[in-house]
Structure 1
Amino acid sequence: MRADSDDDALRWEGDDDPTLAPGWKAVGAPAAAEPATSEPTVGADDASARAVADDPAGADGPADAVDETAAGDGASAPAQTSSVELVVLGVLAGVYLLYTIGWLITALRTSAPGISIVSDAMYSLGLWLAVLAAPCWFALALRARTHRVRLVWLIAGAVVLVPLPFVLGAIS
């Protein structure tokens, strides 16, 4: 068995091809950390391949961590939610849960007016859609792009979705 066969397993044929996009390297630090040259550096790739072959645990060093984060889907990570906003989201989630329970009690206790079959079906459908409105609004508001827009939509929903029949006691 040749010593070269071990090194061949650590590189891909064509790694030293000068027609590759600039900045792409098989192994090593990102292109910004290395000076730009017009000639491919075959020796550097071979040296890094030997270093990885000598120390397999060292292959997961900082350069690989940088490559994995840079090789993401291209979208920037959303900003972390602050503690105050998490508390506000928790309170609003509780409000929306209470709204859902209020509309559910209203839907279960309210009978249809009994004018016709179609109007009774539409009335019942409207009640059950009112039960689903609060959790759907909350879930859709959480998908907002910015924290400020998310809070505005959640507060607007807390005002709009109040279960008035339950609050006013108009359940027959």
Structure 2
Amino acid sequence: MNPDPEDDALSWEGDDALEARRPEPRRAPTPDVARGRPTDRRPADRAAGGDTEVASATVDSRRDADPGHDADVDDEPHGIGTATLVLLGIFGGVYLLYTIGWAIGGVGMQAKAMFMLPAPLYLASMWIAVLAPALWFTATLMMTRGGRDWVRISALVVGAALLVPWPFVVAGGGGLL
């Protein structure tokens, strides 16, 4: 039984036996190992499991002794910020409305534009225009995946300015509404 009663609800009787049989998870190499420096652990310690507290203490002492190692650097990747996530949601909604606007505007303008273009050409250009906002949003997210947030947001702002559904805006849906 656990000393903390709140942890009792989260465990089953016999979990300790399962924990003892579970293999140790693989860990990423420490910066010292990645740089090619050997650790203080001997091969016998690694095979037997060794004392992890001693090994981590030696790695910590090496990090303190190494002037090139920045202790404030976090090795974990940072997630997306809250403001960026909200802006991505807003721009996703704008691009969805743009897609709907191009579809409604394109269908509404079809009868007026048929005297200038044959039907297959008009339909192909209309579907390209309908898919353009979704493609821009997807391409921006994919191409700026590892980049800075301001680059991603600025690319979405540029796309929002370029892809305005003008047939819907100017003609009010092309008379379809």
Q: TM-score per shorter chain, which class?
A: 0.5 to 0.7
Cα deviation code 1:44-86 (max 9, x no counterpart):
212331347xxxxx9xxx8xxxxxxxxxxxxx87642211111
User: Partner of 2:139 in structure 1?
Assistant: 140
TM-score where L is the length of structure 1: 0.56
**Equivalent-residue separation in structure 1 for 2:122 and 2:37 (angstroms):** 72
**Equivalent-residue separation in structure 1 for 2:115 and 2:91 (angstroms):** 38
Distance 1:129 1:44, change over 3 A: same
Correspondence 1:102 to 2:101? yes
Alignment of 1:51-66 (within 5 A): 51=49
Higher relative contact order by CA 8 Å / sep ≥ 6: 1 or 2?
A: 2
Alignment of 1:110-149 (within 5 A): 110-111=109-110, 113-115=113-115, 119-143=118-142, 144=144, 145-149=147-151
5+ residue gaps, structure 1: 1-26, 53-57, 63-75
Structure 1 residue 139, shift from structure 2 partner? 0.6
User: Partner of 1:32 in structure 2?
Assistant: 32
**Equivalent-residue separation in structure 1 for 2:155 and 2:92 (angstroms):** 13
Residue type of the partner of 2:132? Answer: A
Distance 1:47 1:84, change over 3 A: closer
Q: Percent identity?
A: 34
1:166 to 168, 174, 177: 168
**Equivalent-residue separation in structure 2 for 1:149 and 1:83 (angstroms):** 16
Aligned length in residues: 121
User: Partner of 2:43 in structure 1?
Assistant: 45
Structure 1 residue 119, shift from structure 2 partner? 3.1
TM-score where L is the length of structure 2: 0.54
Question: What RMSD, in angstroms, separates the aligned Cα atoms of the two structures?
Answer: 3.7
